[in-house]
């Protein structure tokens, strides 16, 4: 089986990490897997030497020049599967397959598989509807996403849930960071950590509101929010308005995230929407207790009261209560940490994810190409 993977993002987030884990994992089980990535992107930079990598990305969603180049690449490489990992990648692949179908003289057409990692509804404009009709199978990162796809009109037999996975052994082997020294925190202060892009759906505004309540009951608590994004200035202003400058830090992007997670006493995810939440898997692999919202696929990872505490979304009072409860009960934190580590080893390894993905490829490639064949709508 030969799969050609497409991710057009410049930046590095959880989705790009999953792409690399998938491609490298498929190669480790003897399958050929190549990667099309943004020429100036972080994914291309981090790709291992020896990986079959092609630098290509569209400038816009309907970049016909990039689609033409991709169609020629498909003809040259003849993959069994094209696996698109982001919306622009889906567009480029759909257009390329349409171009190839119009010019082909027989021969098999690769199946188009699409990774769906966010619990956002499919867009309703004509081009988006067309490109998603070309998809043979959506691989949803959680059952919550799969049900959303079905609700958006995708036939159930074109959807499958494959929970994302992480490299647990790598997480275990990663040395811990002394976060008190790294961030100049008071010795012995309990540290609550969050790792996420600073964007609206990650809900850090609610975490900062919760921190304002937490420090009234646990005055020495410190909050470290790792990540970058469009809301940095707004969140810094919120910290200032709550007079939390000594309690809430936003150190930005770190390359040693796993080590930092190991230094947290509690890991918190405050998301309003969330496909699955691989940073929660990282926290579990680092044996950290969790407080999280019930957004999206998070309840498929965190069992309330077992390996974490779950609260409603956009409820900073409930979030604060759960954080205080965990900080004041070391025995509870240890039980949740132990349960989380056992759960990630059992259900969320990269090996399991890769095996299930390969099974999807085998099933989809073994049946006739079923996606739509109509021409794309005109631009504009």
Query: C-alpha distances in angstroms, 151 versus 146, 156, 229, 276, 298?
Result: 9, 9, 30, 18, 19
Residues contacting residue 27 through CB under 8 Å, at least 6 positions apart: 33, 51
Residues contacting residue 33 through CB under 8 Å, at least 6 positions apart: 2, 3, 4, 5, 22, 23, 26, 27, 52
Percent of the chain, pLDDT > 70?
Answer: 94
Q: Does residue 124 carry a pLDDT above 80?
A: no
pLDDT value of position 272:
96
Dihedral sign of CA atoms 340, 342, 343, 347 in order: positive
The pLDDT-based confidence of 362 (bands split at 50, 70, 90) is very high
pLDDT value of position 123:
76
Q: Per mean pLDDT, which range of 100-104, 250-254, 275-279 is the poorest?
A: 100-104
Helix axes of 126-133 and 87-103: crossing angle, nearest 10 degrees = 70
CB 63 within 8 A of CB 90: no
pLDDT value of position 374:
59
Helix axes of 87-103 and 64-77: crossing angle, nearest 10 degrees = 70
pLDDT tens digits, 49-64: 788 999 999 999 889 9
Q: Is 277 helix (H, G, I), strand (E, B) or coil?
A: coil
pLDDT value of position 21:
94
The pLDDT-based confidence of 119 (bands split at 50, 70, 90) is confident
pLDDT tens digits, 211-245: 999 999 999 999 999 999 999 999 999 999 999 99
pLDDT value of position 289:
98
The C-alpha atoms of residue 229 and residue 236 are separated, in whole angstroms, by 12
pLDDT value of position 371:
54
Burial of 72 (0-12, 13-18, 19+ CB in 10 A): middle
pLDDT value of position 380:
43
Pick from 297, 359, 289: which is nearest to 326 by CA?
289
pLDDT value of position 110:
93
CB 277 within 8 A of CB 283: no
The C-alpha atoms of residue 145 and residue 154 are separated, in whole angstroms, by 12
The pLDDT-based confidence of 367 (bands split at 50, 70, 90) is low
CB 44 within 8 A of CB 38: yes
Q: Over the chain, what is the mean pLDDT?
A: 92
HSE-CB at 69 with a 13 A cutoff on CA atoms is 10
Pick from 67, 83, 68, 71: which is nearest to 34 by CA?
83
CB 308 within 8 A of CB 340: yes
The C-alpha atoms of residue 249 and residue 262 are separated, in whole angstroms, by 17
Q: What is the mean pLDDT of residues 195-206?
A: 96
Query: C-alpha distances in angstroms, 54 versus 36, 74, 341, 354?
Result: 5, 12, 37, 22
The pLDDT-based confidence of 129 (bands split at 50, 70, 90) is confident
pLDDT value of position 335:
98
- Can you state the percent helix, strand and coil of the chain, rounding each to 5? 45, 15, 40
φ, ψ of residue 150 to 5 degrees: the values are -65, -40
Length, in residues, of the chain = 380
Which tokens sit at 33?
């897997």
- Determine whether domain 168-348 maps to CATH 3.40.50.2000: yes
Q: What is the mean pLDDT of residues 287-291?
A: 98
pLDDT tens digits, 51-97: 899 999 999 988 999 999 999 999 999 999 999 999 999 999 999 99
Query: So where are the chain's domains?
Result: 2-165+351-365, 168-348
Residue 220 per-residue DSSP state: T
The C-alpha atoms of residue 40 and residue 198 are separated, in whole angstroms, by 22
**Strand ranges inside 18-141, DSSP E:** 32-37, 52-55, 81-84, 111-116, 137-140
CATH assignment of 2-165+351-365, among 3.40.50.970, 3.40.50.360, 3.40.50.2000, 3.10.20.30: 3.40.50.2000
Cα angle for residues 167, 168, 169 (degrees, 5° grid) = 95
The pLDDT-based confidence of 355 (bands split at 50, 70, 90) is very high
**168-348 matches 2-165+351-365 in CATH topology:** yes
Helix axes of 316-327 and 330-347: crossing angle, nearest 10 degrees = 100
The C-alpha atoms of residue 107 and residue 257 are separated, in whole angstroms, by 47
**Strand ranges inside the chain, DSSP E:** 2-7, 32-37, 52-55, 81-84, 111-116, 137-140, 159-161, 191-195, 222-226, 248-252, 266-269, 290-293, 309-311
Helix axes of 14-28 and 350-365: crossing angle, nearest 10 degrees = 70
Q: Does residue 157 carry a pLDDT above 80?
A: yes
């Amino acid at each position: 089986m030969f799969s050609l993977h497409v991710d057009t993002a410049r930046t590095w987030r959880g989705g790009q990490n999953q792409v690399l884990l998938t491609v490298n994992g498929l190669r480790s089980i003897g399958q050929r897997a190549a990667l099309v990535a943004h020429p100036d992107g972080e994914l291309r930079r981090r790709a291992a030497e020896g990986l079959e990598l092609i630098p290509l990305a569209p400038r816009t969603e309907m970049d016909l020049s990039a689609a033409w180049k991709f169609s020629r690449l498909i003809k040259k490489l003849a993959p069994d599967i094209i696996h698109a990992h982001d919306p622009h990648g889906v567009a480029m692949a759909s257009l390329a397959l349409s171009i190839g179908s119009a010019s082909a003289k027989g021969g098999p057409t690769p199946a188009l598989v699409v990774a769906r990692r966010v619990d956002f509804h499919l867009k309703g404009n004509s081009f988006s509807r067309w490109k998603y009709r070309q998809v043979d199978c959506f691989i949803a990162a959680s059952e919550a996403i799969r049900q959303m796809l079905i609700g958006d009109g995708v036939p159930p037999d074109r959807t499958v849930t494959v929970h994302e996975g992480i490299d647990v052994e790598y997480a275990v082997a990663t040395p811990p960071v002394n976060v008190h020294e790294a961030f100049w925190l008071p010795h012995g202060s309990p540290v609550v950590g969050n790792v996420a892009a600073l964007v609206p759906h990650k809900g850090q505004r609610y975490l900062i509101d919760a921190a304002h309540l937490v420090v009234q009951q646990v005055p020495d608590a410190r909050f470290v929010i790792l990540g970058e994004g469009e809301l940095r200035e707004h969140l810094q202003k919120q910290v200032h308005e709550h007079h939390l400058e000594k309690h809430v830090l936003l150190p930005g992007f770190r390359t040693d995230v796993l080590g930092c997670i190991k230094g947290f006493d509690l890991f918190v995810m405050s998301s309003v929407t969330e496909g699955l939440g691989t940073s929660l898997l990282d926290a579990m692999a680092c044996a950290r207790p969790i407080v999280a919202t019930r957004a999206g696929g998070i309840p498929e990872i965190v069992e309330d009261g077992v390996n974490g505490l779950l609260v409603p979304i956009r409820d900073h009072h409930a979030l604060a209560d759960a954080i205080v409860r965990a900080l004041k009960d070391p025995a509870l934190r240890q039980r949740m940490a132990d349960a989380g580590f056992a759960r990630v080893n059992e259900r969320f390894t990269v090996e399991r994810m890769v095996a299930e993905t390969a099974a999807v490829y085998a099933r989809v490639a073994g049946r006739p190409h079923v996606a739509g064949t109509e021409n794309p709508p005109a631009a504009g």
